[in-house]
Amino acid sequence: MASLLREAGKHAVASFLTAGHISVSDALPLPVAPADLKAVEVLPAPLSLQSEKPKGSAGPVPWWAQPKAAVKRIDAWTTTEKLKRPEHDLFVYRKHPDADWIAFRPALRVRLRNGRPDPRQPEPSLFAVEEIAEDTYFVADLRGPLDAMKQLAEGLKPVLEGRRWLRVGRSGAPVEVVDIAWMMDTTQARSTSDPAISEKTFRLTLTSDLLVRDEFLRWRTALDERALQELLGTNNIHLKRSTQDWVMVHGFNRASRLWRMPAAAIRRGSVFEVSGEGIQALASRVVQGQWLGERTHEGFGRFRLDEVLPGVTNGMVANANGKADSTEDVADEAIAAETHKWFEDHKELARPGSGTERKPSLSQWFDLVTELERGNANAIPNRLNPTKAGAQSWKHPKARAILEKLQTIRNLEMQARHARFFVRWLRAEMRKREEA
C-alpha cells in the first residue's frame, strides 16, 4: 500500500504506514466470503489445539475409498492422550462470536516451472511453486488515529472502491478489495473494570509472530515467566504452562530494494496460560491495540485472550466452502462404488498389453485425469478420436468403453472425480499383480 501511495505522489500518507502511525495486521484467509465483516473472527490454529491421530483400518477397502472421519480438535492441555499437532497452514474461523469454530486449510495450488530457482545453478531444472488459489478471501485489520485513517482511506480511494488492484507477492498477483468496514476499538471487548477478571485463568494466544529481544539484544525463541513479565512490564502476570515454537522471519524492503536481515520470532499460534492481577491491564492492551515486541506496525506481536481455547471444534471439520464434509463423503462413496463396478467389468485393463493388443498405460490414464481436472472439455473427445500414433491405444474396446461412460457425465468436475477414482482402482490392481 505504501508503494502504491508513493507512486501516486502521496508520500505524506505513505509515511503513516512506514513510520508506524498506522499498523497493518497479517491478512488471514477465510473459507467463505463473510456476511458481516465486523463480526468475523479468524486466527492461526493455536499450537495446543491438537487432533486425534487417525486410527488404522482393516479390510479390503483401501483408505481413499473409505468415508472420511470427522476431525475432532481438542485442547491438548485437557487430556493425557497423545495427539497430533496442527498443520502449519491450519486456521480456525467463526462468522460471529456466538457461532461454532470451524477449522479449515486454505486451498493451495502447485505449479511446475522449468528454470533456475537458485541463481547460482548453471542448468535449468524442473521445480514446483506453491501458490495461493485464485478467489481466496482474506481479512486484514488496519488500526491508527482517526485523522490518519481518514487520510489513508482518501489516498486509497481507487483501491477501496474496486477501481484499482493492489499488487502483492513475487509476481505481483492482483488483489481486489471487495469490502471494508469501519470499526471502533471493541476487539475482544470485555469489562476491564470487573475485579473477577484477575482471579481467572486465560489463554494468551499469539495471532502473529512475536519479535522480542533479551538483555543481550538476541532474539528470543521462547518465553518463560520472567521474560513474559519483562515483555509486559509487570510482575503481576504468572505463567502456568505454555505450548510454543519459533520460526525465522524473512522480508524484503521495497524502498531500498534489499533483503531484510532475518530475525527469529516466537511463532504465531503459541499459547500461554496466564493468570494474576496483570490480566486486567493485558485485556486493556488488546482492546487498545497495544501489541507486544518489535515492529508491531507491521503486524507482529498481536495476541488475544480467551478463557476457553479458540478452535475446539467438537468433531466438526470444514472443507474449502466452510461446510461440514459429510455431504462430500457421501458423494465420494457413491463415486467409489460406481467406478469400482466399472473396473470389475473392465478388469482386463490392469493386465499387461501384448504386442498386438495395445492398452493405455497408467501414465496415460493419469494424463486424462489431469486434463479433466484442469477443465479441458476436449480431453475425452480427443481420445475417442485419436489422431496421434501415441494415442492409438485408446482404441482398445475396454478403454473406449470407460471413456464413453465418462462422456455421459455432463459435469466436467464430476468427470474428473470419476476418472480419478477409476484410475485408483486400476493402479491398486496393477500393484497387486506386480507383487504377486
> What pLDDT was estimated at residue 64?
66
Tell which wins on pLDDT, 59 or 204: 204
* Count of residues making up the chain: 436
pLDDT of res. 288? 87
Residue 415 identity (one-letter amino acid): Q
CA-angle at 241, arms to 236 and 244, nearest 5° = 110
Q: Can you tell me the distance from the alpha carbon of 117 to that of 130, in angstroms, rounded to the nearest whole number? A: 13
- Quick one: pLDDT at residue 147? 93
For 213, residues 6+ apart whose C-beta sits below 8 A from its C-beta are 219, 220, 294
What single letter denotes the amino acid at residue 73? R
Residue 188 has pLDDT above 60, yes or no: no
- At 350-363, the pLDDT tens digits run 888 766 678 899 99
Q: What pTM was computed for the model?
A: 0.70
Domains and CATH numbers, the chain: 40-94+188-317 (2.60.40.4350), 326-435 (no CATH)
Q: Closest by alpha carbon to 302, among 234, 232, 205? A: 205
Given this model, what pLDDT does residue 26 score? Answer: 93
The DSSP symbol for 354 reads -
Confidence band of 187 (pLDDT split at 50, 70, 90): very low
According to the model, what pLDDT value does residue 1 have? 86
Q: What is the pLDDT of residues 196-233, one digit of tens each?
A: 676 789 999 999 999 999 999 999 999 999 999 999 88
Q: At what angle do helices 412-435 and 362-373 cross, to 10 degrees?
A: 160
pLDDT digits (tens, 9 = 90+) for 369-420: 999 988 888 999 999 998 888 788 899 999 999 999 999 998 888 999 999 9
Phi, psi of 272 (to 5 degrees): -130, 130
